[in-house]
Amino acid sequence: MDTKELLKKVRKIEIKTRRLSDHVFGGEYHSTFKGRGMTFSEVRQYQFGDDVRNIDWNVTARYNEPFVKVFEEERELTLMLVADISGSEFFGTDAQFKNEIITEISATLAFSAMQNNDKIGLILFSDEIELYIPPKKGKSHVLRIIRELLEFQPKSKKTDIAMALKFLSNVMKKKAIVFVLSDFITDGYRDSLKIAANKHDVTGIRVYDRREEEIPNLGMVQMQDEETGELLLVNTASKAVRNNYYAYHRERVDYFQEAFLKSGAGAMSCRVDESYVKKLLGYFKRRG
């Protein structure tokens, strides 16, 4: 992708997702992910309707008229986006690939966090950490994150979610809001997820294509594993083959749902041909 095309794509995603974060998600994000509590800001003269429990009696005695303490939310938070960029994310049978939906969801969350003056960081992973961008604030930083999501070329096509979660736990010392975006067509990450969820506010977003749920009857078909590159000749006319594939897929989905539920983390699934806007809003409202 040349620079001109990249900038055009970044701008297109910025316009779409920033509009969503400004008009739809900003308030939902703020109310869903609270700050660390309330901190003292200042004192001012008592006004009718003020909570008498907030009266500062020392200042009141000094000036011989009532003053109240004013508190504000200690808002600053950190959003970490942990995005799967393995080979299976570059798959799609409808209008968009999974990695394109992951990029749009990530950008929407990043702009919502920026609107709330939070820091945003990024981890891109396959079966290794491909890129780590430490959390920072600001629009230029968010645009860099979008550029990397769009153009970064991974060294590996394989997936290791457990490794990515271990890296997150090691690198993030303070509590963060964490979104793990992947198709989760793997397992073996339950223990790492539990450790990460004990420390951070973790949500898994499973992005998938409807054609991954079951194989249609198309006779003998040559298929390629996106992560290993292996070519296989598959007899899709065989009911046993189709049933085995469906069972394999359901096992991965059940593992995802059970792992996140039992670790106390949040989880949502989004098909590439569905509205991620509705899915995210529904998730935020349930949590808020």
Q: In a 10 Å sphere around its CB, with 0-12 CB exposed, 13-18 middle and 19+ buried, how is residue 228 labelled?
A: exposed
Residue 159 sits in the same domain as residue 251 = yes
pLDDT digits (tens, 9 = 90+) for 130-188: 999 999 999 999 999 999 999 999 999 899 999 999 999 999 989 999 999 999 999 99
Tell whether 104 and 64 lie within a shared domain. no
Judge if 59 and 129 occupy the same domain.
Answer: no
Q: For 69-78, how does the pLDDT look when each residue is reduced to its tens digit (9 = 90+)?
A: 876 555 578 9
Say which residue, 156 or 9, is predicted with more confidence: 156
Please determine, for residue 30, whether its predicted confidence score (pLDDT) is greater than 70.
Answer: no
Residue ranges making up the domain that contains 264 = 3-32+76-287
Same domain, 54 and 15: no
Do 177 and 269 have their domain in common? Answer: yes
Residues 128 and 42 in one domain: no
For the chain, give the mean pLDDT.
85
171 and 64 in a common domain? no
- Do 69 and 83 lie in one domain? The reply is no
> Which residue, chain included where needed, has tokens 């079966």?
127
Is residue 264's pLDDT more than 90? yes
What gap in Å lies between CA 79 and CA 122, rounded to an integer? Answer: 9
* Average confidence (pLDDT) over 222-242: 76
Residues 64 and 109 in one domain: no
Report whether pLDDT(253) > 90. Answer: yes
Same domain? 237 vs 127: yes
Considering the domain architecture, whether residues 52 and 142 belong to the same structural domain is answered as no
pLDDT at 12 over 80: no
What CATH number does the domain containing 224 carry? Answer: 3.40.50.410
Q: State the average pLDDT over residues 257-275.
A: 94
Q: Based on the structure, what is the number of domains in the chain?
A: 2
Residues 28 and 51 placed together within one structural domain of the fold: no
